[in-house]
Each structure stands twice: as C-alpha cells, then as structure tokens.
Structure 1
C-alpha cells in the first residue's frame, strides 16, 4: 500500500506568533507504503500570455489558478460550509509525484492539474518541473518576504527508488534524501516530525502520528509563508458586529476597522465588490464580496483565472472605510474523493503506473489528505473568459463592510501565483 500525505498550512503575522498547523496526504502502495507530505503557505494571481513561445511562469500560475477553481467547485458541491485550501500545495505534491509516474497515470496527473497543454506546447516532458523550480526561485528572491519551500524524501532501508527519479526530484525541487528505518515507527516518526518542525519554524510540531507497517517512502514538501498587513488594523478599533450567514442566521464576530486608501473595483456582471488588502513584501489578499441580493453560490461557477486577472488589473485606489471580520479556519479534505472528478483516477487504482519511482510492483495511491490552516487578525494573516468589460472602479460605496459570505484569495503579486483560496460562510466557526 502506498500512502501519500499532503499538508498545506498558511499563516501571516507581523510578529513571530504565527499560527500554523499541518496536515498530511497519505498515499498507499501495494505491498509497500509511500507517503507524500506537502505543507504550504501562500501565493497569487496571474496573467495568461498566448503565443508560440515556450510556456513561462505566468502560464503556469494561470493554469494553477484555474485548477484551484476546479478543486474549489468540487469541494463546494459537497457542503455549504467554510472552505480553505492551497492549490499550490496540491499541484506541487502531484507534480513531484508525476516524476515517478508513467503512461496514462502521468498523463492524467498533468491533465487534472491543467498542465498537459503547457507541456505539449513546450514540447518536452521536463518543462513543468522546471517551471515550478523557476517559480520558487522568483518568489524567494525577495529577501523581505518570509517564504520557505522544501522537499524531502525519507526512504526505507529496504526500498530502492529509481536513480532518475532521485536525481530529478533533487534537481527540480531541491529534495533532501534521507534513509530511515520504518521498521522502528517511533524513531522514524521522530526523525520526520523534527524535519517538519524545522522547516515550518516549529509551527507544525507533529506531522506524522502513525506509520503503516509496509511504509517504504515518504515524500514531504513544505511551503511556509508568514507576513503582515501593509496597512495593519488597530486592535483598539475592533468591535463586535453582525455577520449575516444567511437571512435567518446572524452571528456576532470581532469586526476590524481601517480608514485608509485601498485598491478596489466592482464587477457589474457578477455584482461583486473586490478589495485588495496588501501584505508587506509584495503579497496580498483579494476579498470578493457579492452584493447583498446575490447568493454566493451564483458566483461559484463564474470565478476563473481570467476573471481574477480582470479584477486585479482594474483595481483603483480610493479612500475607503473597511470593516473585515477576524476569522480562523482549519480545513481538511480527502482528495482521493475529489481528484477523480478531475480525471485523476489511475493513480488510485491497481492499474497505477509508478514504475518511474520504483520497480516494486503494485504501487498505487490510496489516500490523499489535504489540510490548510489560516488565521486573519489585525496584524495580518497567520496563514471570465471575458475581458475586463463590466468591471469598473466607479459608483463604489465609501464603506466596504464584509458582513456576509465572501471569497478570498491570497497571492504573491510579482509572480501572479495563487497559493490559497477560500470562502467564509460563518467566521465564528473554527
């Protein structure tokens, strides 16, 4: 059995008390177990560039954004609760895994991630990992941004991984490869958890709580981001206010307040207000608030990478009173129930082809658990096919009150890379 762990965690605070937790994605092999853990924290939007030139980072982040919307819609079809996840966390995990996948298993992974056409356009199989590598370098080149990404392989003493897979995961993801004795679960868990604690600033203290007896390999990817509002809210101005979950359900939540100049716009077609809240060092949160007479479910199907890009390109600066609820979320998803709806099926079945990872027979992914954590307070976050027609910065209210269900996106602006997205239905729920 091959178990895969994918964890995504995100926190943003000006001070070092960022609140971060991990979670994991388990994958199973038969007769062995392999774990892939991904822990991530924050990135952003992008602009689509078409042409005959080879795909670049902008193309990658654009496609990753549409993948994010696909995953969001699948998750939202199950319930009407709060949602929060990291598309970059998931796509990085499966791109890493694709290095060891062959045939239709690999094809399905790339197609499900919306990356197959980029590879076809680039004309070579190593393009996608290279783009992820370049994306990481572009994000981390800003010393003012607290961003750290790492990949590690923990390999059982009796398990042999293919040399090509080992070399590629080192080359593209800078992976550390460590030998552990999975026959001694306590020691191996302690080794892995210590690595995760170190990579996440001691925020994720216990990533692995159990190890299956047939585990042979664990692949761990961590992405950590911590930041603070560029325009912090004054805690002295935070007061309890009403949040309208729906017309029949009203909750009291701490409502932050800030009177300043913000970038904002209005989408007349969707009837949503858009607000950009910048973090220091070039990242931002985009709040998308449907009008009071618009059900948020009407907006679900209309959010695309193109629409998002139109919003960010049409933002205009204006004096505004912003009222935003403090909220925390910790969400977990069993992605093996969601990703098959996006066409990623073989890897979860006995027909999985992971011979590029190892020649051991019967490898397949049995479980993919994704967990993401976010906390938003006064300091920061501890954690349409169309054009821009119908989007305007005029006729906006002087007050932007986020007191009903809304969407939010966290992104790194210079790379236009989306790291997290979610919706808040009830900010009092955690």
Structure 2
C-alpha cells in the first residue's frame, strides 16, 4: 500500500511538473496556448474576466500582505463594463485594457458578457451578484446612457443626492439581488461632493458533489507567528479530488468538484506562511485551465475549514495598479455627462459560505485513504465555473477565526 501511495504522489507531481515545463515563456507559444485553451466567445470572455480578477487580487494582496482578503471579480467586471459604455473612445480603450478585453476582438462584447453573466448565475451554481452605477444628480446626466445600460444588462443606473435615503435604497437593492445575503454594503451615504460611484456585490454558497460525513468538529488551524486557533472543520475519508504538487511554488494544489460544473481550487503552501506572493503571481486564466486538465484523480482523507465570511472594501485605490492612473485623472465619461466627472468609489462586498452537504456519499471501501490533505494552515482558494472558465470568487485565508458573516 505504501508503494502504491508513493507512486500516486509521484505521478501527480510528475504530471504537474510536465504541464508546467510545457508552458513556454515565449510570447508566440503563450498565444498558441491561449488559442488552444479558449476557442469560443464565452470561454475567451471567461479568460478575460478571470485575468482581470487575478490582477485585481494581486493588487489587493500587495496592499494587504498578511490579512484575509476576498473578491468576486466577475461582478466588478460587470459594473466597470457598464461604466465603459459611457466613456469616450480613448477612455473606453483604457478601461478595456485593464479589463483585458483588448485581447478579445469581439464585436459583440456586451452580448457575450451578458450571456456569460447569465450562465454563471444559473440556478444551482450558487452565485448571485449585484452590479450598478450611481451618479450624482448635479452632473446633468444624459438619459440615453441610462437606457443603453438597462437595455444591455437589465439594470438601470441611478442618480443619487448623497443622503441617508440613498444609502438605504442601495442597501435594499443589493440585498434583493443577492437573496438577502449581502446586507449593508454601504455603512454611510455617498458624499454630496462625489460624482460617479460603482457598487458590486456577490454571494456564493455552492454545493459539493461529494458530501462530507463529519462537520463542525473543532480542530486547530495554524497561524503564522501566533498560537493555533480552534475552528470548525469538515472531514471525510476517501474523498475524490484532483491534485498535484508544485516544487517551484512550494504548495500542493487540489481541485474539489462542486455541483453544476463549478469547482474549488485550493493552493496549500508547504509551510505555515502568509507570504503567498509566488502563488498569487502565478495565477492566470491559462495556468488554472491547464491545472484543470493536468491534475490527477486521487482519493484522500480531506479536512477543510467551514468557511463563513463577509468582506467589503473600496477598490478605487487599486485601479491605478491596473494601469488606470491616466484614466482616473480624466475619465472621459462624455456619454454620461458633459461635465467633468470623477470616479469617487468602487464599493465591493462579498459573502460566502461552505457547508458539508453534497448530492452523493464517497465510495465505500474497506481501506481508508492513505493520502491526507489537511487545510489547517493559511491557504489561497478560488471558485471557478468549469464551463466558461470564469473566475467567480477568490480569497486568501490566513486566520479563519477572524472571519465574520
């Protein structure tokens, strides 16, 4: 049995390393890989929104170097794309580059994104989102823009005055769009001096394909530079996963299948550390797609934290890190208003839950798993729609005890 286990691990590592070595650094090779992996408008759009999300996550991670952080990039892509519809040609090109749309050459870009959003929010996938633009009434707004966005995305931008009534209306709308799960996105009203604000929110609670038999048991989670914390964990023997190891990134990677073609990838460093820069820098749509095809099946004794989290932030300070400094100085929103309009905030909030439920039990075997995968130290995870390849959710967990919902 020890020999079989060793061969399995060796095969996983070997397959993973071969996949890594085949990804060349030359630009032409990367382009060929991209064409091979993403061949339809929807998968290309999924790759673009994912790469925007990975860039945004890296920008947030570099500022919050040792904290729990979470994002739902697809909802941010949705609201910034709505905003691009009001921009001049110059400003739109700048936004499209940050959103990674310049790689698409898709004349039906908005229709493709609309179809993608509809697909990833299909019943059973566990995702609900809200994305909307809020504009100061004093800007003398052009109603044509309101109608254009509503016609394309089914949500009408709204004018605000900067009072508590506005805040209550926005929070109520976000809660309705997310099934009551994302509450109090705003804790204070937009200032009367603000011009353009975007709001994006997501709630995710997917269901596993294979359920966990044990849940809620308190176990230790290692924290860098501090005593372990006791948190509720889910555990199951003989759990089917796909996995591999990367010596360059010093981590083990596991893909766990969820229902309706959604999966979770977990990047677990070999040591207890909050420094995941190497892993964060490696993340691209192509890299994760390659993982989904090269990680090898295994059955493991799997232990996962029971996650319940709520996280909110203003993403505006991160946009400069995505190459939008020039655009922020001159937003060129000429299709929204003839006046100079500045982007005042990019509010974002996410709520996520995991639970032990699934639609099937692990296969019955007389021999328990000899491979053990315990997520009991800081880790990075992402939730991905397998049909489109779109990144739905990404997070870094350094201390689950600090998570609140």
TM range (shorter): 0.7 to 0.9
- 2:252 equivalent to 1:252: no
Q: Is the 8 A contact 2:71 2:393 kept in 1?
A: yes
Q: TM-score under structure 1 normalisation?
A: 0.72
**What residue is the counterpart of 1:413 in the other structure?**
386
Query: Which sits farther off after the overlay, 150-159 or 198-207?
Result: 150-159
**How much does 1:415 deviate?**
1.9
Output the CA distance in 2 between the equivalents of 1:67 and 1:227: 23
- 2:294 equivalent to 1:314: yes
SS of 2:60 mapped into structure 1 = helix
Superposed CA deviations along residues 34-60 of structure 1, whole A, max 9, x for unmatched, are xxxxxxxxxxxxx97528x99611111
- 2:333 equivalent to 1:354: yes
Q: Is the 8 A contact 1:347 1:365 kept in 2?
A: no
List gaps (5 residues or longer) in structure 2. 1-31, 359-368
Question: Which residue, 218, 221, 226 being the options, matches 1:243?
Answer: 221
Q: How does 1:183-202 map to 2 (within 5 A)?
A: 185-202=163-180
Q: How does 1:134-213 map to 2 (within 5 A)?
A: 134-140=115-121, 142-149=122-129, 160-176=140-156, 182=160, 185-208=163-186, 209-213=188-192
Question: Which residue, 303, 309, 319 being the options, matches 1:339?
Answer: 319
Higher relative contact order (CA 8 A, sep 6+): 1
Q: Is the 8 A contact 1:412 1:418 kept in 2?
A: yes
**How much does 1:76 deviate?**
1.9
**How much does 1:99 deviate?**
0.6
Q: How does 1:25-174 map to 2 (within 5 A)?
A: 49-50=34-35, 56-78=41-63, 79-118=65-104, 121-122=105-106, 124=107, 127-140=108-121, 142-149=122-129, 160-174=140-154
What root-mean-square deviation, in Å, do the aligned CA atoms of Structure 1 and Structure 2 show?
Answer: 3.2
Superposed CA deviations along residues 303-352 of structure 1, whole A, max 9, x for unmatched, are 22222112111233322110112234333333222110111123432x22
Q: TM-score under structure 2 normalisation?
A: 0.76
Output the CA distance in 2 between the equivalents of 1:75 and 1:298: 15
Query: Which sits farther off after the overlay, 262-271 or 92-101?
Result: 262-271
Change (3 A) 1:175 1:112: same
Aligned residues: 357
Output the CA distance in 1 between the equivalents of 2:39 and 2:238: 42
SS of 1:285 mapped into structure 2 = strand
**What residue is the counterpart of 1:17 in the other structure?**
none
Output the CA distance in 2 between the equivalents of 1:70 and 1:177: 26
Of Structure 1 and Structure 2, the greater helix share is in 2
**What residue is the counterpart of 2:346 in the other structure?**
368
- 2:287 equivalent to 1:302: no
SS of 1:77 mapped into structure 2 = helix
SS of 2:53 mapped into structure 1 = helix
Output the CA distance in 1 between the equivalents of 2:123 and 2:233: 32
Change (3 A) 1:299 1:332: same
